Amino acid sequence: MAQVEATTERIIAADAETVFDALADYKEVRGKVLTGHFSEYEVREGGDGEGTLVHWKLQATSKRVRDCLLEVTEPSDGRLVEKDRNSSMVTTWTVTPAGEGKSKTVVSTVWNGAGGIGGFFEKTFAPKGLGRIYDELLGNLAAEVEK
């Protein structure tokens, strides 16, 4: 099994603390900025960063739906990590200052891909599809915090 990785980034016209706080707010903000690819969103524990347990279904393609139960940690300042209890998937959000009143937000997801020909196609196409989903999500996040 090869590791598959998808990474997307965006400069947002809001300071890093504001953007990070919005990302870590699973009670109010996160559900609002998710795209139509996410369903059954539910905060099961916590709701603000570290210690949060959140559930959603991610429909990456018409045939591929991933049931995610994510444990949230904050291993360092500006970094939010979501580890899926149902798979090898780990998503890391990193928010850093990018000049006056701006921040750079990077989202990176890694998981153990399938083997064989299916794994080849997954490694080839999944990062692009997930990248488009995250690009839309980051656009929604920017619209939320740039108000």
Mean pLDDT in runs of 10 for the chain (147 residues)? 87 97 98 96 98 95 88 97 96 97 96 74 75 96 94
Give residue 61's pLDDT.
Answer: 78
Cβ count near 42 (within 10 Å): 11
Inter-helix orientation angle 116-145/16-24, to 10° = 120
| β-strand partners of 112 | 3
Give residue 2's pLDDT.
Answer: 76
- Report which residue type is found at 84: D
